[in-house]
Structure formats: structure tokens, C-alpha cells
Amino acid sequence: MSKILSPDQIDGFRKNGYVPRVRVISKERAASIRQRLEEFERSAGAPFSAAVSKPLRANGHLLFTWLNELIRDERIVDAIEDLYGENLLCWMSDLFIKEPNDPSYVSWHQDSTYWGLSSPDVVTAWVALTESTKANGALEVIPGTHLKDQIPHRDTFAKDNMLSRGQEIAVEVDPGSSVMLELEPGEMSLHHVRLVHGSAPNRSETQRRIGFAIRYIPTHVRQLEGEDTATLVRGVDTFGSFQHEPTPAYDMDPECLSFRQRSAEKRQTFFYKGNDERAAG
């Protein structure tokens, strides 16, 4: 018996590689998380993406208690359990923020390209903390592409590309076959690690678009590129392939800050493999 996802949603994930629109937290809770993020930005005097250095942009769940609570949220993790069973790690989290009138975009790509994980049993819960619409650059996916193997990518390091290497699929993608995953605050979509996806710039005048992308794996998945870290969010980890991450006792807990820095430094070596001069950037 599944916990949150219907049999049709589970079937849709297997066939199409994504699940659209699932309500996971209330609009009010999404608004309160957004408020805490914006309080941090005010105190830092800059938007999140500028307030933290590049390797620190990922894994906000090690910086803030309210993001750590979100990666463990019962409804979100129940949905992941419906797909991958009861022993689950959060491998990474990423805040994707597009400001109003922001040229930032995400090129068509497969997440699996530089992650170094041993299996495609990897799913992202993309949780909307604001509305995510056509106007402000919602996530778009190409259904069924997760059934392809790893597709070659080329690195562009394009200025406005939000990906680590500006990587894009090195073959023609038919944008006419894409599906836009519009969301209300507090809803999430799910996408498979091999699904081709991307997003356009935020063309709205006033609306920020904030998404928190949480990457989950079942505990049997390993990191092939070296030592790595993850947070156990459900069940037991009998494989022990990842060093388990600490939980911040309060925002900017120094123990978690330095753990996060060390983890990011290790990941840099494989995220930028073959492009070592970029690793410092």
C-alpha cells in the first residue's frame, strides 16, 4: 500500500519520469520558510545566491534548521518511500532562486551527468516556496527521457546558466514535447535523475521564483567518485556508504558549517572533474 502517491502517480513516474503537483506542506508553512530565507538575506545584505559562496549554495539543509526539517518532512519522505522503499538518504539539496526579470536559466540536462552515483535510483523533490509559473520560469521536463541511458552533455559555463558547469544535452531536444510543472507554494513535483529537464528565465516584473530541490536516494546507492556525505531521513542504513551528516541545532551551527564546507570541497573534485580550473570558482 502506498502512503501518499496514488498507483497512477507511481505508474506515471515509472513511465514518464516525473510526478506533477503534489501538495506536501501548507501555503502558510511555505510562506513562513520563505520569510525565514528572506530574513537571512536581509541580515546578509544580499540575495541568497550572492550571500553564500558557490560551493556553499548547495546543502542549505546543513545551514538552516527550517530546511533541515523540510528534507525530513513526513509527507515528502512518504512520497519518496512510495517510489524507493523505506531506507532513504537525502544526498543533496539546492535552492534554485530566480529574481524578477532575471536572465538566469537552466539548460536541458540530466541530473545524473556529474553526480557520480552508482545507480539511477535517484529522485528530486522540487518544493515550491513561491508560485512557480510559466511567467517566472517554472521547471519543464521532457516526458519519458529518463528511460534513455546517460546522454552526452557539453559544458558551456554560460554566465546565466544556473548549473555548476552550464552543462547541456549535446543532442537536439524537441522543446515542443516538454511539459511545464507549474506549482503553488507548498506543492512539489518529483523528477527522476535521468529525466531531461530545464527552465527558462524569470520574465515576471515582480515575482521571485524559489524552489528547494531535495535529492533523495535509497541507501543501496553508492558514490563512485570518492568519499561523500548524506543525511539519513528514514529507516536504517546498513550499507554505510555515505558519512552521515549532523543536524544543525540552530541556524549557522558552526559544526554543520564546517562539515558542509568539507563535504562541498570533496564534491567539487567530481562535480568539476576534467575542468579542475573551474573547481575553485
Ligand X SMILES: O=C(O)CCC(=O)C(=O)O
Q: Of 87 and 164, which CB lies nearer to ligand X in the complex structure?
A: 164
| Residue list 1-60, contact with ligand X (CB under 6 A) | none
**What are the strands, taking DSSP E only, across 50-178?**
88-98, 106-109, 123-128, 139-141, 153-154, 168-169
Of 17, 200, 196, nearest in space to 109 by CA: 196
- Whole-number minimum distance, CB 162 to ligand X, in Å? 7
Q: What helix, strand, coil percent values describe the chain, rounded to 5?
A: 30, 25, 45
Query: Applying CB under 6 A, which of residues 106, 122, 183, 233 lies at the interface with ligand X?
Result: 106
Query: Applying CB under 6 A, which of residues 73, 81, 102, 111 lies at the interface with ligand X?
Result: 111
DSSP 167-209: -EESS---GGG-EE--B-TTEEEEEETTS-EEE--B--SS--E
Residue 138 — φ and ψ, nearest 5°?
Answer: -65, 160
Dihedral sign from CA coordinates of 262, 71, 58, 222: positive
Helix (H) / strand (E) element for 81: namely helix 74-84
- Whole-number minimum distance, CB 253 to ligand X, in Å? 26
Query: Applying CB under 6 A, which of residues 16, 59, 124, 189 lies at the interface with ligand X?
Result: 124
Question: Is 213 a binder of ligand X (CB under 6 A)?
Answer: yes
Taking residue 222's Cβ as centre, other Cβ atoms within 10 Å add up to 15
Q: Of 4 and 193, which CB lies nearer to ligand X in the complex structure?
A: 193
Q: Of 62 and 139, which CB lies nearer to ligand X in the complex structure?
A: 139
Query: Applying CB under 6 A, which of residues 40, 64, 114, 126 lies at the interface with ligand X?
Result: 126
- Whole-number minimum distance, CB 7 to ligand X, in Å? 25
Alpha-carbon distance 92 to 215, whole Å? 5
Alpha-carbon distance 46 to 223, whole Å? 34
Number of amino acids touching ligand X (CB under 6 A): 10
Q: Of 183 and 256, which CB lies nearer to ligand X in the complex structure?
A: 183
Query: Applying CB under 6 A, which of residues 90, 139, 256, 264 lies at the interface with ligand X?
Result: 139
Alpha-carbon distance 111 to 124, whole Å? 9
Q: Of 37 and 106, which CB lies nearer to ligand X in the complex structure?
A: 106
Q: Of 186 and 211, which CB lies nearer to ligand X in the complex structure?
A: 211
Question: Is 127 a binder of ligand X (CB under 6 A)?
Answer: no
| Residue list 174-203, contact with ligand X (CB under 6 A) | 197, 199
Question: Is 211 a binder of ligand X (CB under 6 A)?
Answer: yes
Question: Is 62 a binder of ligand X (CB under 6 A)?
Answer: no
Alpha-carbon distance 192 to 272, whole Å? 22
Question: Is 245 a binder of ligand X (CB under 6 A)?
Answer: no
Q: Of 81 and 102, which CB lies nearer to ligand X in the complex structure?
A: 102
Contact present, 108 and 265 (Cβ < 8 Å):
no
Question: Is 96 a binder of ligand X (CB under 6 A)?
Answer: yes
Which residues of this protein are in contact with ligand X, per CB under 6 A? Answer: 96, 106, 111, 124, 126, 139, 197, 199, 211, 213
